[in-house]
Structure 1
């Protein structure tokens, strides 16, 4: 083997080892997250939302015209709407609260338990550890959203008739098309939570008290929504990370309108970059080994 080839192999080996170490660390983080009772308790609480909605509608019948959240009156005719109704109910408070708990615990939880220094001595590397922690929160965000949609679809299927889905534009599509659109809504909501997850990660690097980071993350979500409802702050609305949270209704039109999805993804990406950079800057200078 030539010296150039040998040098190439020697250079490629650490890269492959680094990639393998990152994937191994990510897999370990996800497994640890989903082995916790708290994680399953949070998902169970989210699953109760569509179940309670479906049971209430089944026992009491549909609401009066204009009463309740959008799509609630359509549940009795088509159980597929349980999932999307549950998302509308969960999105303003319950989903942000759940994500805030997990995101706020990422670094602060390790610090409070005294395990953060051992993770860094491993060595995991500070930036790599932050990336893995954030990726695990993103996975949980997807799992949380899918829990609401999937449980809502299943309970709606069990308690109500199932049939073609009437979209907001008045067009009727097949059950399969409707289910695909509901999965697209789940993807939209997951993307919506990525900016908040980055905020929670940053706040988690500021403290060793997980509850403080959790509460601050959830409170910021509420404050952002309140600010978004004030017309006096119109100039600020495009920059709030909650601005497009309920814009997934465009996916229930014919044809589906993806503008809100793209705008939402761009906004959340901006928050990920800004607060991810702040988290890196804070974590690189944080004394966790003393």
Structure 2
């Protein structure tokens, strides 16, 4: 049988003696993962996340420490300072790109190639396609992040050492505690990464342009970083995704504080929910047949 609306217009096959069935979101998700695995850029990104950190660590070992950056003066003294130095750089320049490389293209590419009508067959709905693509984009961003974090931390410890870390207020942090704080610092940026992924998905759906979907979050991230450096906008700064990427600084004070992290967690959650809701609404209302 068939219905008029998209989600209710999914043809259900009725096996003999069985109940109605329709293609599930899991099948659509698996297909999206297969398509991502076949792309050269996704494999190149994962390889870069794995290989780049040890190369940077080796370069830093052969140069004078960048004393004007956060934890920069300690990169030759402790292997736990290096991943924090890398994190401070990556959250400004690389994380938005990491989030948008797939998410900014995953919907718009269907418009570019004119394949929406093929995808939206009577065995799959727009809702299933939306969540399959969204979960695939988030899974890629999180996987890339975990590879990058693991490579940065492991290579720094192996190549520099497990010496105690000097905190932001001058206190000495023992190696066993320092490792936990470094891991926590990296993981604290994950909600903002998901937020940037949701923003890339929104731009991908609304603009139907892969280039804008990929570049847009990077530009927005840089703009947020500049806006966050302006004084007198305390309340607005708390709502920016870029601010939540720096909330881990409080972990390394003599008296640790987590207020900025909790604010950033809320901000990232709101950004994620709003962007995904707008993207889903836009895709649901779109006239696929008319173009």
- Return the TM-score normalized by structure 1: 0.82
> Which residue of the partner structure matches residue 264 of structure 2?
264
In the TM superposition, what is the alpha-carbon distance from 1:52 to its structure 2 partner?
Answer: 4.0
What secondary structure does 1:76 align onto?
A: coil
Spell out, residue by residue over 1:90-144, the C-alpha distance to the aligned partner (whole angstroms, 9 max, x if none). Answer: 1101121232222211200122223333222153322232222222222222223
User: Which residue number in structure 2 is paired with residue 224 of structure 1?
Assistant: 224
RMSD over aligned CA atoms reads 2.7
Q: Check conservation: 1:76, 1:161, Cα contact below 8 A.
A: no
Does the 8 Å CA contact 1:95/1:144 hold for their aligned counterparts?
Answer: no
C-alpha change, 1:25 and 1:261, in structure 2 (3 Å) is farther
Checking the alignment, whether the CA contact within 8 Å between 1:108 and 1:204 is kept in structure 2 is: yes
Structure 2: state its 5+ residue gaps: 1-18
Is this contact kept in 2: 1:102–1:137, CA < 8 A?
yes
Q: Residue by residue, what CA displacement relative to the aligned partner does 1:238-258 show, whole Å, maximum 9, x if unpaired?
A: 322222211112233467543
Q: Deviations over 1:174-220 (max 9, x none)?
A: 43x43333332232111111222111111111233211221222211
Structure richer in helix, relative to its length:
1
Cα 1:252–1:281 change in 2 (3 A) is same
Return the alpha-carbon distance in structure 1 between the equivalents of residues 183 and 122 of structure 2.
39
- In the alignment, which residue of structure 2 is the partner of 1:54? 57
Unaligned stretches of 5+ residues in structure 1 = 1-12
Identify the residue that residue 136 of structure 2 maps to in structure 1. Answer: 136
Q: Provide the rounded CA distance (Å) in 2 between the counterparts of 1:34 and 1:166.
A: 41
SS at match of 1:96: helix
Q: How far apart, CA to CA, are the structure 1 residues paired with 2:90 and 2:32?
A: 26
Q: TM-score normalized by structure 2?
A: 0.81
Runs of 4+ more than 6 Å apart: none
SS of 1:77's equivalent?
coil
C-alpha contact (below 8 Å) 1:250/1:258 kept by paired residues: yes
How far off is 1:286 after superposition? 1.1
Name the SS for the 2:24 alignment partner. Answer: helix
Question: How many pairs are equivalent?
Answer: 272
Find out whether 1:32 has 2:43 as its counterpart. Answer: no
Q: Which moved more, 1:44-53 or 1:179-188?
A: 44-53
Q: Name the counterpart of 1:158.
A: 158
